[in-house]
């Protein structure tokens, strides 16, 4: 039975780089326990394409792989329009923006508006030539072009405003950051917390030599705890002469000083004495390509990248410090709240 609470939909344009990254995502997310829904596998033969698009639009978590071809495809744009029809669109979509999607400059975004305006005009002119009767299907297509033309500027503005990672950054991390955010959206499993261990109850005070007899037949009385020995019960240590205690104290102090000196000397050992798995962890800029990309993005003012750098880097590393201080913007620890404090 399909676990609908773990369903992740993918909207993309078939072929090329888009399909390659979707195939990688599909395999990786399924290996991590998510239910991936995509048309090539889940839209059955003769199934309704329109109904499947509406299902994607209602999806709780939808990965949209945006390319230039996606923004010029009627089917892809209908899926995006369906997603936008439902509430919390920014919380439900997880964009992967390919380099050919020209959404970051206003003049280039206008080219997509112009493209759908021309598509609408071409179809409208063709329908005028053959007459307006019995054109069922064409009229719905014309209405779709009209909707896309009206909505594409708003949709691309939303995508432009969302802090996203490049496909290369996703691949370098095995989609770890995307997976973490999907888990948060879908309500991942809560951490298991062991129940507190109750403190033992103090023993009951007794006034007799024996505890009260058990009500069980044949039970034997349990002797009460004996009182501690008094000062009259001298141990063997109490008979040690005072001068011997002084000598032992001096010797113990000398041993302690030697141990402290050895410990201090050990702190000067070179880092190569650390276990190999510690030395192999990335520490400073240049050690790890993925963390370097997050560093560069953080340094350029993408504060969400600072938070990701802080969370993804090894504890105590330069990477962690740079992300923790929002790219050395603050003196105190931001603890992964750079985007909340300064914006995305």
Residues 57 and 163 in one domain: yes
Task: Read off the CATH number of the domain in which 80 is found.
Answer: 3.40.50.10140
| Number of helical H runs and strand E runs in the chain | 16, 4
162 and 56 within one domain: yes
Average pLDDT over residues 4-8: 90
Quote the pLDDT of residue 190: 37
For residue 136, give the 3-state DSSP assignment. coil
Q: How would you label 310-337 residue by residue, b for 16+ Cβ within 10 Å and e otherwise?
A: bbbbeeebbbbebbbbbbeeeeeebebe
Answer yes or no: is pLDDT of 82 > 90. yes
pLDDT level of residue 69 (50, 70, 90 thresholds):
very high
- Whether residue 52 lies inside any domain: the answer is yes
Same domain, 248 and 176: no
List, for residues 176-185, the tens digit of each pLDDT value.
Answer: 999 999 999 9
Bridge partners of 96?
65
Question: Is 195 a member of any domain?
Answer: no
From the number of C-beta atoms within 10 Å of its C-beta (0-12, 13-18, 19+), residue 185 rates as middle
Same structural domain for residues 20 and 163?
yes
Residue 169 is part of which domain span? 4-104+153-186
**Range 192-197 average pLDDT:** 38
Residues 181, 79 share a domain = yes
Q: In this prediction, what percent of the chain has a pLDDT beyond 70?
A: 73
Residues 76 and 162 in one domain: yes
Task: Look at residue 99 and tell me if it is in a domain.
Answer: yes
- Torsion sign over Cα 140, 146, 152, 155: negative
Same-domain check for residues 161 and 296: no
Total domain count, the chain: 2
What is the residue-averaged pLDDT of the chain? 79
In a domain, 109, yes or no: no
Name the most confidently modeled range: 89-98, 200-209, 220-229: 89-98
Query: Does some domain include residue 66?
Result: yes
**What is the DSSP-derived secondary structure letter of residue 281?**
S
Residue 86, domain member (yes or no): yes
Mean pLDDT in residue range 213-239: 44
Give, in degrees to the nearest 5, the angle at Cα 335 between 334 and 337: 65
């Amino acid at each position: 039975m399909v676990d609908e609470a773990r369903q992740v939909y993918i909207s993309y344009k078939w072929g090329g780089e888009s399909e390659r990254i979707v195939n990688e995502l599909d395999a990786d997310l399924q290996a991590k326990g998510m239910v991936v829904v995509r048309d090539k596998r889940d839209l059955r033969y003769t199934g309704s394409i329109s109904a499947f698009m509406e299902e994607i639009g209602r999806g709780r978590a939808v990965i949209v792989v945006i390319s230039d071809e996606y923004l010029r495809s009627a089917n892809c744009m209908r899926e995006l329009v369906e997603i936008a029809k439902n509430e919390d669109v920014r919380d439900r979509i997880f964009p992967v923006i390919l380099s050919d999607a020209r959404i970051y400059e206003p003049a280039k975004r206008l080219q997509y508006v112009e493209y759908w305006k021309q598509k609408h005009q071409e179809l409208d002119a063709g329908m005028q030539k053959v007459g307006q009767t019995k054109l069922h299907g064409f009229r719905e297509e014309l209405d779709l072009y009209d909707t896309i033309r009206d909505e594409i500027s708003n949709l691309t503005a939303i995508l432009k405003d969302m802090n996203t990672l490049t496909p290369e950054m996703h691949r370098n991390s095995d989609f770890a950051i995307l997976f973490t955010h999907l888990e948060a959206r879908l309500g991942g499993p809560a951490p298991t917390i062991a129940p507190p261990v109750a403190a033992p109850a103090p023993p009951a005070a007794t006034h007799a030599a024996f505890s009260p007899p058990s009500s069980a037949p044949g039970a034997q009385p349990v002797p009460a705890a004996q009182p501690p020995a008094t000062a009259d019960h001298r141990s063997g240590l109490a008979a040690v002469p005072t001068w011997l205690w002084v000598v032992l104290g001096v010797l113990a102090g000398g041993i302690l000083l030697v141990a402290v000196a050895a410990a201090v000397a050990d702190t000067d050992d070179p880092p190569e004495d650390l276990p190999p798995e510690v030395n192999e962890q990335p520490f400073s800029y240049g050690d790890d390509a993925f963390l370097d990309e997050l560093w560069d993005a953080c340094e350029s003012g993408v504060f969400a990248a600072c938070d990701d750098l802080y969370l993804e880097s090894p504890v105590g590393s330069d990477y962690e410090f740079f992300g923790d201080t929002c790219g050395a913007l603050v003196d105190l620890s931001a603890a992964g709240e750079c985007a909340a404090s300064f914006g995305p």
